[in-house]
Structure 1
């Protein structure tokens, strides 16, 4: 496999530093090493851990939750699962702590949030973390803070009024070894916005800087109203003094900006004394908020201090290009994997926690072999599906599939995937009489209410089949993505010409049905399914080529 850096387009830092959906970033520095953790929702393994020496070049080194004993996502709905983490390092014990919340259900019948928990490791590069230690509190976006006297504080977002869906920032002291509460939970802050269901104070982080305590939070929901605000006070619990310049990060005042939905920030001090911050942001395409299929990505910016308050990005909106900041190196890379390794790349994901292994890199050397299970894409389980995030709006994904299809239920192919209800694919399926067909599966949604945000009341899959000449042999499959659409195509053999039978609007990957959410982003995937029945026909993929535009 190889990664090919793309050409640099402009002088200065190019954002996002973690392209492709990487929401809710939390950053920590240990010596000269920086680490970031982000959210993964119903994907497994959970919480990627990225490493950098210079804040510009980032490498995926593992995942905090990579065993079923840590994270069982059986039946978890789309956009539930693992939410915003906090990543911290405790110098006295020399341990990394990763805090998170696993939201296994997200329905009207399930009114309370689950317990949050943490896992630890002493060697973050080993990709081996402890089993979870659970807190007593019910909430999400947990934070941990060690005070100077040894007290340990847990801070989170929780429901203050379940009827009106009003949230507040809660806190208590805990016994870190067991997660047991040592004090009653108390509301320490209700945010800077009007105290109603749209305020959503969340994502709290406590800091102790220059003898002052700070509380940094996110507010305003997950859309254009999303922002970061900060308070300071004499203790980890306040009382809090409001920063007169709040919000300190907010692009939503100008909806024409190329980056929107900015917030959920975290800050860190570099070894040289400078300060930096990370936050999530979304890049709507062509000014259209319905075309943001990459979802929420991680942006970096400088932090300065004025009158004892942090100033994020010089007080300016976040952008894709910070002139004169750090190195002028693009984070985009072309990815090509010929599956010569015996292990799967860290950047590949499964949908929910697999109940059994369904892939092999050794059964047929030089191929990724997928063994089908009965689940199809769209079933709320773990289909034989392997995913890798889309990292650029202008990006092409291609593979070569070797697959015999003895029945009209055996099917393998590729997909551009967001969730159970939002995915589109092209693959090979049996025709029931010994031949094969190309099948396209297009997500079709109806009853648009708008103009923005769009709302779709239902989602159905439309299938169309195309005859293949050969009953065996390789078929190349390709998806070409751009700002507002995806083209799905196929070519018979290794030299046949590509045909693109369908083109879909990318809003079908970024606008959820009623009752759904848009917390992630799109991913390319390969799959093999028996469509409700067991299948003994393996699907062999010769390579994975994912190429952002130069």
Structure 2
């Protein structure tokens, strides 16, 4: 099975094209790699989608398309520390579900940033929005904060000029009755103009597990619609819709709810579908987007790419929208749109002065720790290591295909066993696996390959444990023969595993000292969440101490394919 990746179209990116035979309706996911909570808007002939990023920085990628099939990353709505400070933010907190809208020449991006997850501080955060008059400029305003406590904020302009903010939250911090809330706001200041009103409780029993979320309000043919997500974030996730005479209801239930729900049949190749949005196309046809996951081999423990963005047609019957003809969302929707994009690889030789927008930091860096010099990405270590709830010297790029190989060349001469640099297959603080280079504990010139794997108790296979909810960290060392020769590092991803490898010099074959089950990137640790997906990373750390040893990464290559192992010298 082949999945396409996004064409970034940057001048310093060399694209290697792998033909995959005659074009078919290979439509989904339209934005592969984890991109949850999509919100879509059309302005003229241009379509734009924003998705969630959690503790990644910059926040909220903005994708652009002319044909709903080929999507290009054009920037991020939250790209300055003044807009988004994530220092100390827990994994899977941070920036949640956006709403992207356009009104009279201005784009509005509504968002919520959550900074804590503790029993004492579970009160919902405040939401905000940023604006721009030129979405291609990547220049957005500082946040304008709303008064409401909640998340998944939506903005809606009525025909009389009233602006409504609609969000998910509860009635108070004590009773915690979940629902969809709304108030009119001043769109210049964000101030509330009316009290918050609970406009809908959802279609499921009102519990924390089934809470109504992700509201979007529409006015279509003189009728108001309220689209929400329900059922949590797993297999029960779904989309339901109501209609009524005003932006606040009262609401008439669609008798065919849920209008999007793949979880009725757990053998469907796409699952966890929900958190939808929809828009009318240039030609008058309607289209919807939603998140979904693709369990590998039908196993929900192997969803390491996380929640991706899917597209589907929308039709109308008796004044109700019908998502994908009432059928489950699938990877192939025949006869709907033709996929004109081939499967692509990504190669960056770091000859540009800046990183392209597809790279991310984990939380905000306190200060720059990377430079692009002489065809290399140089990372200067700080004291933080991967897994610390702070900003390690780590740069990541999302994994785009379940079968994908990441490769780089690392020049690094450590001074002791605390100085360490390498690559990672990374999800979050507690879910990451590395292969790198470290030094001699005696301060000598010997170098070692270090392999560090982290697995959870619920996993199957040779890593399974009898103790529930345990986390096992395994560290292994392999001696290198040279004290300074560049080492090629690779991570080969398949549908259910990752192989971590190295090769000493440019003419050697890879050796793979570790293979891990990909459930190590899919099963949340105790008390944790699974909201994101896997990314490949490059890092340099002093493991708790300052380090003066730079790490030079010669290139960054991601190649989609079925477990392909790159041979010696196969850089280009």
Shift of 1:456: 5.6
Against the structure 1 CA distance between its residues 37 and 331, is the aligned structure 2 distance closer, same or farther, given a 3 Å change threshold?
farther
Shift of 1:465: 0.6
Shift of 1:336: 0.5
SS in 1 for 2:519: helix
For residue 205 of structure 1, the aligned residue among 209, 216, 233 is: 216
8 Å CA contact 1:455–1:514 kept in 2: the answer is: no
For residue 88 of structure 2, the aligned residue among 55, 68, 75 is: 75
* Pairs within 5 Å for 1:81-100: 81-91=94-104, 94-100=105-111
CA distance in structure 2 between the aligned counterparts of 1:357 and 1:461, rounded to whole angstroms: 30
CA distance in structure 1 between the aligned counterparts of 2:139 and 2:342, rounded to whole angstroms: 26
CA distance in structure 2 between the aligned counterparts of 1:426 and 1:466, rounded to whole angstroms: 11
For residue 381 of structure 2, the aligned residue among 368, 372, 380 is: 372
CA distance in structure 2 between the aligned counterparts of 1:248 and 1:444, rounded to whole angstroms: 37
Task: Give the aligned partner of residue 522 of structure 1.
Answer: 534
SS in 2 for 1:442: strand
Shift of 1:455: 10
CA distance in structure 2 between the aligned counterparts of 1:193 and 1:145, rounded to whole angstroms: 25
CA distance in structure 1 between the aligned counterparts of 2:553 and 2:32, rounded to whole angstroms: 25
* Pairs within 5 Å for 1:190-339: 190-330=201-341, 332-339=343-350
Q: Deviations over 1:461-487 (max 9, x none)?
A: 221110000000200000000111100
CA distance in structure 2 between the aligned counterparts of 1:139 and 1:429, rounded to whole angstroms: 45
Q: Deviations over 1:179-213 (max 9, x none)?
A: 11110001000000112222110000000000000
Task: Give the aligned partner of residue 512 of structure 1.
Answer: 524
8 Å CA contact 1:76–1:352 kept in 2: the answer is: yes
Shift of 1:396: 0.3
Task: Give the aligned partner of residue 49 of structure 1.
Answer: 62
CA distance in structure 2 between the aligned counterparts of 1:483 and 1:303, rounded to whole angstroms: 31
SS in 2 for 1:181: coil
8 Å CA contact 2:420–2:439 kept in 1: the answer is: yes
For residue 531 of structure 1, the aligned residue among 509, 528, 543 is: 543
* Pairs within 5 Å for 1:417-432: 417-431=426-440, 432=443
* Pairs within 5 Å for 1:319-398: 319-330=330-341, 332-362=343-373, 365-398=374-407
Deviates more, 1:471-480 or 1:106-115: 106-115
For residue 131 of structure 1, the aligned residue among 142, 146, 160 is: 142
For residue 27 of structure 1, the aligned residue among 27, 40, 53 is: 40
Shift of 1:509: 0.5
SS in 1 for 2:15: strand
CA distance in structure 1 between the aligned counterparts of 2:17 and 2:459, rounded to whole angstroms: 40
SS in 2 for 1:20: coil
Task: Give the aligned partner of residue 438 of structure 1.
Answer: 449
CA distance in structure 1 between the aligned counterparts of 2:528 and 2:284, rounded to whole angstroms: 43
For residue 492 of structure 1, the aligned residue among 497, 504, 507 is: 504
Q: Deviations over 1:382-441 (max 9, x none)?
A: 100000000111000000000111111110000000010000000000112111100001
Task: Give the aligned partner of residue 181 of structure 1.
Answer: 192
Against the structure 1 CA distance between its residues 455 and 251, is the aligned structure 2 distance closer, same or farther, given a 3 Å change threshold?
farther
CA distance in structure 2 between the aligned counterparts of 1:164 and 1:396, rounded to whole angstroms: 49
SS in 1 for 2:262: coil
Shift of 1:329: 3.0
8 Å CA contact 1:116–1:140 kept in 2: the answer is: yes
Against the structure 1 CA distance between its residues 283 and 369, is the aligned structure 2 distance closer, same or farther, given a 3 Å change threshold?
same
Task: Give the aligned partner of residue 556 of structure 2.
Answer: 544
CA distance in structure 2 between the aligned counterparts of 1:504 and 1:115, rounded to whole angstroms: 40
CA distance in structure 1 between the aligned counterparts of 2:468 and 2:341, rounded to whole angstroms: 36
Shift of 1:448: 6.6
Deviates more, 1:212-221 or 1:490-499: 490-499
Q: TM-score, normalised by structure 2?
A: 0.93
CA distance in structure 2 between the aligned counterparts of 1:205 and 1:6, rounded to whole angstroms: 39
8 Å CA contact 1:448–1:456 kept in 2: the answer is: no
Q: Deviations over 1:18-76 (max 9, x none)?
A: 00000000000000000000000000000000000000000000000000000000000
For residue 425 of structure 2, the aligned residue among 416, 430, 437 is: 416
Against the structure 1 CA distance between its residues 6 and 57, is the aligned structure 2 distance closer, same or farther, given a 3 Å change threshold?
farther
How many positions carry a matched residue from both structures? 544
SS in 1 for 2:97: coil
Shift of 1:332: 4.1
8 Å CA contact 1:57–1:331 kept in 2: the answer is: no
Shift of 1:447: 6.4
Task: Could you tell me which runs of 5 or more consecutive residues in structure 2 were left unpaired when the two chains were aligned.
Answer: 1-12, 461-465, 563-572
Q: Which runs of 4+ in 1 moved over 6 A?
A: none
SS in 1 for 2:410: strand
Q: TM-score, normalised by structure 1?
A: 0.97
8 Å CA contact 2:20–2:343 kept in 1: the answer is: no
Shift of 1:326: 1.2
8 Å CA contact 1:456–1:514 kept in 2: the answer is: no
Task: Could you tell me which runs of 5 or more consecutive residues in structure 1 were left unpaired when the two chains were aligned.
Answer: none
Against the structure 1 CA distance between its residues 6 and 315, is the aligned structure 2 distance closer, same or farther, given a 3 Å change threshold?
farther
